[in-house]
Structures are given as C-alpha cells and as structure tokens.
A and B are shown apart, each in its own frame.
Chain A
Amino acid sequence: MRQVRVAKFRRASLAIATLALLTLGASSGYTETTVEVIHYFNVEGQVQALADIQKDFEKANPDIKIKYTYVPFGELVSRTLQMAAVHKAPAIAAIDNPDVLRVAKSNILEDISQEVNKLPIWSDIYPGPKKAVTADGKAYGVPIGSNSLALYYNKKMLSEAGVEPPKTWQQLSDVATKTTKSPVYGIAFSAVNTEESTWQWEPFLWSNGGSLVDLTSSNAVAALQLWVDWVSKGLASKDALNWEQGDVASQFTGGRAATMVMGPWMLDAVKKSGVDFGIVPIPVPKEGAKPVVPLGGECWCVLKTNSQVEAAAMKFISFTEEPERLRKLCDTFNYISSVKNIAKQQGESNPQLVPFVEQMDTAKARSEDGGAKYPEISLATRTAIQRAVSGQAPADQALKESAAKINSILSKN
C-alpha cells in the first residue's frame, strides 16, 4: 500500500517535472543554470555580503542564478550528505575546513585540482589552509578565509595587577594568578564537549610539539596539565567544561575574566562591549618558540553534479576569490585571508589583527592530524580533556585511554 502511494507520487512528480522541463526549455532561449550554495552564515553582515556578491555575479553572468540555502551550523555536513544521497546535491557547500577531507572521502566532492591551479591566488595561499583541502595531490576545495586563536587580555585588569601581557606559559599562569580575584577569573577558555574544546586546546598542544595522533607523549601531557592546573588552582572556572566559545566571550566582555583564548571573529563584539582590551599571540611553552595554532575558516567545495553546474560553480568560486572582492569578504566575515598578500594588507590596516596574521605562517590545519578521521579523533581527545579538567582522572591517564581509542580509530580502514 505504501509502495503504491510512493510509486504514485513518483509517477506524478516525474510527469510534472517533465512538463516543467519542456516548458522551460521551450520558453527560454538558453538554459539557465542554478548554482545552489549551502552554508551556515547567519550573522547580519555576512548575509549582506553574500547577497552583494550574488548581485554582482549575476549581473556579470546572466545565465547563472545563485541560490543560497542556509542550514544551522551543526547540520551542514549531514545535510549535504543527505542531499547527495537523494541525488539533489547542491552545487557548492561552504564546509568548515577540518571536515573537508572527511566529506571528500564519501566521494561526493569533485576534484578541482586543475581549476584551482588557474586561480591567481592559489599559489599565494598559506601552507596550512592548503593542506586542509588537499589529499593525495588532489584539491577538493578553495579556502574562503581563515581564522585562528590568540589571547585577548583586559588592559585595566592586567595593569592593576601589575603584569605585562604574557608571552610564555609561565608568564600566562603568572598573569592568571595575579588577576584572579573573585568574581574575576584569570583566564577563560572552552572545554565543552564539542569540537570547540579540542580546537581551543590545540594551540597549547601543538606549540609544545605534541600531536593528536600521539597523546601519550610528554608534550601532550604537559599541555593538558596546564589546563588542569588552571582549573584546580581556581584560575579558571570549572564551568569551562560547559562553555562554548560564545560563553567564553560573554565572560570576558562581562568582566568576569582577565584573559581569554579567542579568535578574530569576536573583535567587533568585544569592541562594542567597551572593555579596554589588547591581543597577543598565543603564549608559547618557552621563550622564542613559535606558536602553532589551529586553522578555522570555511572552504568552497564543489559537489559532483553535472559538468554544466560544476563549471558554473567554479565560475562563482573564482569570482569570490578575486583579490579585491576576497579582501572585502574576509573583512566582513572577520576572517584573516588565507592568501598571504591579502592577509598582510589586513594586518597593516588593522593592527589588532597583527597577532593573527603573524600566526598564519605556522598555523596548522586540523585535519593534518588524522585526515578524514579527524572528527573521530577530536571526539576521543575532548573526552580526555573533560575527564582531566573535571578531575575524574589525572591528565596522563586520561590521555592514555584516549590514545588507545585513537589508535584503534586510525587502524580501522
């Protein structure tokens, strides 16, 4: 009975679709291509920027129509997969860079190596973002922009405590200790049970030479111990286990934290809050070491549809990656551009962005640790983070258990 109903629907919609196609084909002189772009940008400024790009692009390319489809942040990957599974894939998906390789593994992304080499900016892209979209010599996406993490600090609180903005871990702990005074905590960061906590921990792990695929190393243990000590000594709130980065920022702007680990996307909000703040690069374990921060930011990925749609999609992507337009896009989206030239320009016009720009040279793509398996590895990692920070297990034991899980993930095919 159910099959009859579904079959009836299929027949009906097939008939309607055929009719529609015929009439469309008959009425227009040429076939118009619709490029559907699926994304999760919903901040006012971003939406406007996207609309402007759409207008300019359609004017320059009258035979292509752009259609934006918004999905909530956590749903993008699963929605893209579902749409591909029912053969209604969008033309372009703006995928968060650590997910690109995983989605590529499902075979729904087109290999665009040839096309991207024709892009003028391609050769000027930082090594980090490029690694996030390439595997086995093939390119599966084009970075739109990047961001990372640095240390915001409350100028007033630090000067009152008589400390300078920290450069090393020791100095950071020192600053945190001296600025912690109820109800203010010295430092705020996110250790929540989502990707955000792995992301926030990575600067400390990687700057100390550790890696997610070897969590038992002493570098990793030391990096986690840093966080554990902050919480156990009362320099950071235990609620960090529940804070998403938005909550961390609220703590800082509300005057409840003297420093916070945060990225450039919060600049406007923090400026608006009236707090007198400064930004320094992520403190490093020892003097002179280089900070290694994780890369955020989305990439345009082309899905396998048909040659006409894919060609139109590449046209759109190249359009957005034209230097001037890209610069404007990155500024509106609060990205640091993945293109060296443009990033340097951004740093020159806005000194507050300089720490982020400097860090781009050594920034690392998250999927470098584990490739398509990164999301699973991240899940195991944050379990260790949560267990250690909440005091359920000592850092080295928590990491050992997660490392075992990660090894089994890596050995699966």
Chain B
Amino acid sequence: MSESQMTNLVSFSEGYGSQRSRFNFSPYVFVLPCALFAAALLFYPVVSSLALSFRQATVDTFVSGDMPFNGLTQYQAAIGDPVFWRAVINTVLFTVFSIVFQFTIGFLLALLFQFEFPLKSFCLALLLIPWVLPLLTSANIFKGLFNEAGLINQLLHLAGNRPIPWLADRQFALPATIVANIWVGFPFNFVLLYAGMRNIPVELYEAAKLDGADYWRRVFQITLPILKPVSVSVLMLGTVYTVKVFDLVWIMTGGGPANSTHLLSTYAYQVGFSILNFGEAAAIATLMVLLLLILNLFQLLMKPR
C-alpha cells in the first residue's frame, strides 16, 4: 500500500464513529470508482431503455433512428394483452416456488457443511456443478428428462403410473421448469449462505451449548438471526435473478404450449426479437422492474441500513 493510501486509512478510522456532520473525503474515494462505473456503463442503458419504451421502435424506425414518441401506447398494449398477465402470474409462481425450495435446500446444505469432514472442498465444488454447467446444457437435459419418453416418465412407469406429457401439458409444464430452476439455482444459495455462516463466532455456540440448547435450538437462536443480512440479500438477489430467468424456460418450452409458460422475460424476448418490436419489449422490461419492486418492497423497507 502506498503512502497516500495509508493516509486514507488513517482518516478512515478517524471518521469512523465520529460526528457524521463533518464532511469527510475518504469514504467518497472508496466509493468513487464504483460510482463512476455505474454512471458510465449502467446509467446510460437504463435511461435509454426507459426512453425506448415510450417510442415506437420497430424494424422500420429502429434503424433510421427517428423513432416517434408515442407515449404510453406500448404500455397499454402490453397491459391489454392477456398473455402479459399470464406471464405475470407465471413469473410470480415460478419465483416463489423456486426461491422457497432453493433457499431451503441451500440453507440445509450450508448447515451440513459447517461440520468438518474429509473431501469437504471436493464436495463443495461438486455441488456447484448445477450452477456452473452451461445453462444451454442444463435446460436441454431437463427438456430430455421431462420428455414423454424421458427418464422421469420411465420412473413413473416403473412405479406403476401413467406417463405424463410434462412439457406438452399446460398444467405440468410450468412445474417442470420450476424443478429445473431449483436444480440450477440451489448452489448459489448454498455457497453464499455457507460463507455467511463461517463468520459466526464459535464462542456464541459454545455459550449456548453450555446453557443447554440443543442443535436445532442453536440454529434458530443464533445462526438465523445473525445470518439475517446475508439471508435477506440472498433472498432478494435470488428473487431478482429468478424473475429474470430466461434461457431455461425459453429452451424448455419456448413459452408454450400456447403461451402457457411464458415468463415476463420470455414474453419480452418474443416481442423484442421474434417480432422485432423493441419499444414494446422495453415497456415489458420496465413493467418487470415495477413488479420486482413490489415484490421486494417489504425487503427494501426492512433493509437494515
């Protein structure tokens, strides 16, 4: 570290805990690169997308650049489309079920991995495979598994049941994609929660054990509360990412059969790239953010800042 950075650290610790009213340079130094990055590469796309949602941006106008302003037309078109609302419901169902299972499985695994045992890092890495495997492949594998002649129906057959046309049936297609999404997403929750649990000091557990608390009591009274910030972040990010899931559903069902498994992301893509109505796609994306904000409102208000 250089001289100036040492100096910064000095003022860093001086500002820490002291009067907030005194204007302090150093926190801004730490935050500046990140803020610059956000301004340069994140702000422009967000604003441009918002602008696009209010303009008629289709094949003809997009290239010439003179996309006429047409106000809320695209929003109205999107909201008036029953497929849009189907997509909203599907997105909410998809997200809620995925998150609940992913988080639970991830949490339980993280607990399990708090113990020391041989081959631990090997197993940790193995459990990341569902997340690391290219989505292209995972989606196609699950598509194959849920095929009429696929493995899952074969297992059902062995158990004496009739085969279910998973991906061809309106009732079963979305659950099939949810199962696939749980498989792909649990490692994310697992590893992040695991790292969070590593931080909890052993002394707290020792003390609780002395007090006579059993294992699960210790988990509920110590692990869960202390893990709250990490859990909230994982849940929040998990929700956001799940709402954005696109490739998985697109490859498995393409939004079908007959638009019954469209998520907002796949629907926006279809509008944007299959019929090249970029303006309406941008409107759908913005509505997606609104939906997410509503879903996250509770967590945002609760956010311990």
Contacts and interface: CB of A to CB of B under 8 A. Distances in A.
Interface stretch (B89-97, B222-230, B238-246, B254-262): B254-262
A1 B36 contact: yes
Interface in B140-154: 143, 147-149
Contact size class for B?
20 to 34
A315 to B, nearest CB: 26
Given A238-B165, A241-B168, A2 B274 contact: no
Interface in B256-304: 256-260, 270, 273-276
Contacts of A350: none
Contacts of B255: 193
Interface stretch (A101-109, A116-124, A134-142): A101-109
B3 to A, nearest CB: 28
B59 A392 contact: no
A1 B39 contact: yes
Contact of A241 (B39, B63, B167, B270): B167
A239 B260 CA distance: 15
Given A74-B273, A193-B253, A105 B60 contact: yes
A204 to B, nearest CB: 19
Q: Interface centre among A379, A389, A390, by most B CB within 10 Å?
A: A390
Contact of A256 (B149, B270, B276): B149
A5 B63 contact: no
Interface in A222-273: 237-242, 256
A376 B257 contact: no
A26 to B, nearest CB: 34
Contacts of B44: 2
B218 interface: no
Contacts of B259: 193, 383, 386
B206 interface: no
Nearest to A392: B258
Contact of A108 (B40, B63, B252): B63
B60 A379 contact: no
Contact of A390 (B63, B143, B257, B273): B257
B149 to A, nearest CB: 7
Nearest to B41: A2
Contacts of A241: 167-168, 256-257
Interface string A191-231: 01110000000000000000000000000000000000000
Contacts of B69: none
B79 to A, nearest CB: 17
A386 B256 CA distance: 8
26 contacts: A2-B43, A81-B63, A85-B63, A85-B65, A107-B64, A108-B63, A192-B254, A193-B253, A193-B255, A193-B256, A193-B258, A193-B259, A194-B254, A237-B148, A239-B149, A239-B165, A239-B167, A240-B168, A241-B167, A242-B167, A375-B274, A376-B275, A383-B258, A386-B259, A387-B258, A390-B170
Given A106-B63, A383-B259, 6 more contacts: A1-B39, A85-B63, A102-B276, A240-B168, A386-B256, A386-B257
Interface of A: 1-2, 5, 74, 77-78, 81, 84-85, 102-103, 105-108, 183, 192-194, 237-242, 256, 372, 375-376, 379, 383, 386-387, 389-390, 392
8 tightest A-B CB contacts, nearest first = A193-B256, A193-B254, A386-B258, A238-B168, A387-B258, A241-B168, A390-B257, A238-B165
